[in-house]
């Protein structure tokens, strides 16, 4: 999935955290909702401005960021 069109980073919005399509909902917010036990359907119901593609973009963004992490061995 090409999440770059759906995930934006703007310095003046939410302290520059990655947000969905320029709204004030961050990728972190969505991940927290999932870890808190919410389903995709519940998230979409609570945030009518979001789409299933927005949720997938958040997951793709997080997965991509995880791939780029590395641990420097001492």
**Mean pLDDT, rounded, for 10-25:** 92
Contact 43, 30 (CB under 8 A): yes
**Exposure string for 27-65, b = 16+ CB within 10 A, e = fewer:** bebbeebbeeeeeeeebbeebeebeeebbebbbbbbeee
Considering the entire predicted model, what is its pTM? 0.85
Q: Judge contact between 43 and 32, C-beta under 8 A.
A: no
Question: Tell me: the pLDDT tens digits for 37-59?
Answer: 999 999 999 999 999 999 999 99
């Amino acid at each position: 999935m090409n999440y770059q069109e759906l995930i934006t980073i703007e310095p003046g919005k939410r302290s520059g955290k990655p947000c969905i399509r320029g709204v004030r909902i961050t990728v972190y917010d969505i991940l927290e909702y999932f870890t808190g036990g919410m389903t995709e359907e519940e998230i979409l119901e609570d945030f009518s401005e979001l789409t299933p593609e927005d949720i997938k973009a958040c997951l793709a963004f997080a997965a991509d960021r995880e791939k780029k992490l590395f641990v420097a061995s001492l």
